[in-house]
Amino acid sequence: MCGIFCSVAWGADIPLVFETDVLSRIKRRGPDYWFTRNIKLGASRHVCFACSILHLRGDRINSQLNTCGQDQSQSYLAWNGEIFGGYDVPLNKNDTEFLFELLNSVESDEDIVDVLRKIRGPWAFIFFQAKEEKLWFGRDVLGRRSLLWQFDKAEKTFKLSSVVDNDKSKWSEVPANGIFYLNLKYLTENPQFTCFPWSNQLGKVDDFIYFDVELDVRNEIKNPISNTLNKKLPSQDDLKSNDSFSKSAQFDKTMHDFIDVLRMSVKTRVENQQDICKCCSVVGSDISTCLHSKTGVLFSGGIDSSVLAVLADEFVPKTEPIDLMNVAFVRKFEKSEMDGEVPDRLSGRIALEELKLICPNRKWNFVEITVSKEELCAERHKTISPLIHPSNTVLDDSIGCSIWFAARGIGTIRLDKNHKQSQTYISTCRVLLVGMGADEQLAGYSRHRMRFANNGWKGLLEEMEMEMSRISFRNLGRDDRVIADHGCEARFPFLDENVIEFLNGLPIWFKANLNLPRGSGEKLLLRCASRVLGFDRVSSFAKKAIQFGTRISKIEERKQKGSDIMKESQEKLK
């Protein structure tokens, strides 16, 4: 995981300046290494690169800004991603180095695109192809890593970055609809961008570009997710009683196949990291391994996070604890709330007790992260708001703040069963498992029930397809930015390509049956799987949106809707 930045300027005497604020945010994303490069192309074209690295794979840290050739023929790669599949990356090799060698071994546009489309895993990248003077960039088809862009026609500048600078209004998400390049040989007042769009995408690429540029759209490239959503509608015979259907041999096999594919996704995301925690991985340290926690779970106690935790237990060494990050927001002056007795805290404790029974040999660090209104407002104004941008709704703010405090990992751990004694704890994990994608694919949101009530199975399928098509700019870029700010990498097991392909292939009634009540019908497949994995009470927990489960929405008493645009005045403590 890294922070990546690139600025292109054309025109006479353009200064090569890195803005302090954006660079400080880039550095926070990668605490293990920091690097910059300036390139001058001719008399009036300038390119600046900056990158920070969180070293998770390979024997050694490689500069993200790898070079090839001499002088002005150097190529550069800024890579924020993980190659989890599509290529066999040697265990001792950094995947950045591996990818850079592949990109430098080809020359044509089609070959570069072909290299990138085969990658399975989350990524965002910037690649300067020196020989052709082309600046390639883009995100994976789901947008699991943040990449923003800004084009200023008056100043003749173009910027790409994991995070925004102080001029927030000009930045927008790079669409996760394709792979782009800008030809730096032909920079004008209105330069032309070239895009190779992914196949099987809803909407056109230019529907997601919010500044005025020329766009040359080339032939589609094969979507790495090989199948689309199964839209078969159920017959009356398909909709048997819940008991008979869930006990059928066909459903039982499907459920175990689902557990297996999700298990492999968790395995990949747990094992592909260094054997050293955040605190022990100080640059220059001789320590190569430690017994501190390296893996955490964003943990509400719901079925998504609980299933991820129990599967992670299979692959994390038994000598290491696993951190369960549980967030609650309270009013400082209300003593009855100071223990953070919010819905997510209560369900988290119940899930913790079940985890202890299922995995008795694991030390679970249930990190109670209790945030006062005063601290929330201060950190939002100082740090979180720029990270959430360009996402800008009240809901984005609530979710972004909740996840930022969770990833920070500063809280307490209870020392006794009665939850009376506790000690301060700061998480040392560098990988955080997040349940994003379960609700979108298994009809877990309340809006799914509303659409089903109004438009039946067909409407539900349309809603689920729409949810997945917009997940890149609705959720994932924002979540990557707030989690990575703590030098911690977000990993999304439910959004593994193999998991998505498996779930896409299933008929809708295998995944959910919204004729059944809350706590039963939504995410039916996952609920049944959680019972097989050993959960009892957790398997019937109803969905709680994070803004309600953590009570962040309650302590501020906002009267706006979640879809309303955030006002800057709300970021300040009143």
Residues identified as active-site:
2
CA 124 to chain centre: 11
The secondary element (H helix, E strand) that includes residue 139 is strand 134-139
Pick from 138, 210, 175: nearest CA to 471:
175
**48 phi/psi in degrees, rounded to 5:** -115, 135
Q: Are 223 and 247 in contact (CB under 8 A)?
A: no
In the three-class reduction of DSSP (H, G, I as helix; E, B as strand; rest coil), residue 565 is classed as strand
Distance of alpha carbon 503 from alpha carbon 62, whole angstroms: 37
Alpha carbon distance 329, 397 (integer Å): 14
Residues 6 or more apart whose Cβ sits within 8 Å of residue 416: none
Q: Are strands 76-81 and 157-161 parallel, antiparallel or unpaired?
A: unpaired
Contacts of 386 (CB under 8 A, 6+ apart): 21, 25, 163, 164, 166, 168
- Residue 16: count of CB within 10 angstroms of its CB: 13
Q: Which residues contact 223 (CB under 8 A, 6 or more apart)?
A: 141, 198, 199, 200, 201
* Whole-number Å distance between alpha carbons of 498 and 502: 6
CA dihedral sign, ordered 431, 437, 442, 446: positive
The alpha-carbon radius of gyration of the chain (Å, integer) is 24
Q: Following CA atoms 522, 524, 528, 533 in sequence, which dihedral angle do they give, to the nearest 10 degrees?
A: -60
Nearest residue to 438 via CA among 461, 468, 411, 466:
468
Provide DSSP, 329-365: EE-TT-GGGTT---HHHHHHHHHHHHHHHH-TTPPEE
Name the helix (H) or strand (E) containing 22.
helix 20-29
Q: What is d(CA 446, CA 207) in angstroms, rounded to the nearest whole number? A: 27
Strand-pair partners of 120: 85
Stretch (H or E) spanning 253: helix 249-271
Cα 131 off chain centre by: 33
For residues 445 and 439, give the distance between their C-alpha atoms in angstroms, rounded to a whole number. Answer: 6
> Beta strand pairing status for 410-414 and 192-197?
unpaired
**Are the beta carbons of 520 and 242 closer than 8 angstroms?**
yes
Residue with tokens 């600025």: 7
d(CA 541, CA 444): 12
Residue 111: other Cβ atoms inside 10 A: 12
